[in-house]
Amino acid sequence: LVRHYIVMRYSAARNSEVPAVEQDAHDFGRFAEPALLILVSLAAGPRHGYAIMEDVRALCEVRLGPGTLYAALARLERRGLIAPLDSADRRRPYRLTEAGAAALEAQLATMQRLATTGLQRLGAQ
């Protein structure tokens, strides 16, 4: 019975329609921020790993190492937020899925609310 419950919970979590990255924050752990940066990078169109690293570096001076990049990529792919594309080259490009776009939008909206509130509070002092 316990096993059945766990399997159900597990599949429920996997099939959950609520896509926000923040929801999985405990699972993304220290890869939550890299994951967000990757989603932002892929929002401009499909890119392979090296191009994502370069883009993120240009975007916000954050340097993602290959280990960090792929740990975050694998999580995003597992959740269906990004999907690999076929490539003749060894360097495989990834694209943002619809779920990924929705998750990114949700998280950015949250961040925007947070930023607005924070700035308002600072201004109120």
Partner 1 sequence: MRWLLWLYPRGWRRRYGDEFAALLEQEQPSPSLVLDVVLGALDAHLHRPEATSRLESGGPTMKHARRRTAWLVGIASLILVVALGAWLYGPAADWRTSSAAGNPNRVYLVLQADLRAVPAADQPASLQQARQIAERRGRAAGAADVSVRADGPDRLIVELGGTRDVGQAARLLTTSARLEFREEVDRPDGTREWVAARGQTTSGQEAVLSGQYVSQATVGTEPGTNRPLVLFELDPEGRQILATLTERIVGRRLGIFVDDQLLVALTVRDPIDQGRGQITGTFTAASAQELAVTLTSGTLPVPLEVVEARAS
Site for partner 1 contains 78 (CB under 8 A): yes
Site for partner 1 contains 26 (CB under 8 A): no
The CA distances from residue 38 to 47, 97, 102, in Å, are 10, 13, 14
Of residues 21, 40, 69, 103, which one binds partner 1 by CB under 8 A? 69
d(CA 45, CA 32): 20
Minimum distance, C-beta of residue 70 to partner 1, in the bound complex (Å):
6
Phi/psi at 83 (5° precision): -140, 140
Site for partner 1 contains 118 (CB under 8 A): no
Residues 36-65 close enough to bind partner 1 by CB under 8 A: 48-50, 53, 57, 63, 65
Q: Which is nearer to partner 1, 86 or 124 (CB)?
A: 86
